[in-house]
Copies of this chain bind each other. A is one copy, B any other.
Amino acid sequence: MPEWRKDPIVNRWVAIATERGKRPNDYKEINEGRNSQKCFFCEGNEEQTPPEIIAYRESGTAKDTPGWWVRVVPNKFPALDIHGASYQQARGVYQYMDGLGAHEVIIESSNHITGMNEQTEKQVEEIIWIWRDRSLDLRKDTRLKYIQVFKNTGRVAGASLEHTHSQLIAIPFVPEDVRREIEGMKEYVNRRGSCVMCDVIRQEVSEKERIVIEGNHFVSFSPFASRFPFEIWIAPREHQFDFAQLREEQVRDLAYVLKNSLGKLTSLIKNIPYNMVLHTAPVNQEEERHFHWHLEIMPRLTIMAGFELGTGYFINPTPPEIAAQALREIVQIYPVGKKYGMEVPQYV
């Protein structure tokens, strides 16, 4: 059983692999790439993953066999365990508890596609729906308080397998960083009477200079205080605190904005490594209706080093206005290309 341990000074929980912990010799391969000959995530290799939790698949096909287009499985090396107990224990100044939580992998294509930008919009819609399905299912376990959906692309962004996938970690705490964001939004409402993200969207749409894509329901833009070069945020125009409130017409538009934002990004800088993180309200506690959910895409062209780790502040060498302009200038061209017999979009 992994263990949650709390930093005694700040309320930061760390999941520690106490049993099958990595020893010094396990780190000998630093900086060497991993390259699996046989991809565990490709269609036909279903037996290489733990049994599937859910998959969108052709009717009549059996669980853990081909015929799916999006598939969710438990992480083979989970950081957390759903069978943990939720009570905290103390040893002197320290607090700890079982490593309770869930850690799932969303395999975003049955083909060996390496980026969300190579998918059709229809397929991106399916990925969004399955994120929502898992979020709704996991919150039935009332011990879980926060569901973090994220996507790592590229080795320097933490992806160990190149086959396009996202992950989901459900945890029994609301992280301080999330609380800080909630408090920031509440304070703004108290001070100004409106939602800060609604105001940000209004200002960005009006000023235009940091806009990447304006959809009917979603807007993608380079945030004013971007921490990373080419950082992109995608937010719904409508005030929604919970990502799972998404309606069908919104999902279609989000797929369009998300896919094309990533298409522009990866076309601008080939193989750009990035993390995409969902920011949404906590679950199984009083609803945080002032929260405005959104996605943050953080390219990893710079390195978070001593200054960033010490202060939580960032140094960004690329102004977001320059980033947004460069991204706007990239356009999708037709006809689309082909990969694995599928139509894939192309950008110039």
**Residues of A bordering B, CB below 8 Å:** 5-18, 21-24, 27-28, 30-31, 79, 92-94, 146, 148, 150-152, 156-159, 167, 169, 171, 173, 175-178, 180-181, 184-185, 188, 196-197, 199-200, 203, 207, 223-227, 229-230, 268-269, 271-273, 275-279, 296, 298, 301, 303-307, 309-320, 322, 326
Contact = CB atoms under 8 A, between A and B. Distances in A.
Contact of A317 (B17, B93, B269, B279): B17
Contact of A225 (B5, B184, B271): B5
A207 B200 CA distance: 51
Per DSSP, chain A at the interface is mixed
Contacts of A273: 30
A21 B229 CA distance: 10
A225 B276 CA distance: 26
A319 B24 contact: no
A322 to B, nearest CB: 5
Contacts of A177: 310-312
A196 B93 contact: yes
**Identical copies in the complex:** 2
Given A313-B12, A314-B15, A24 B268 contact: yes
Given A229-B27, A312-B12, A313-B175, A158 B93 contact: no
A324 to B, nearest CB: 12
Contacts of A92: 199, 203, 207
B14 A313 contact: yes
B10 A269 contact: no
A200 B306 contact: no
A269 B181 contact: no
B311 A148 contact: yes
B184 A10 contact: yes
B23 A185 contact: no
A277 B304 CA distance: 12
Contact of A318 (B17, B175, B311): B17
A15 B227 CA distance: 8
A311 B8 contact: no
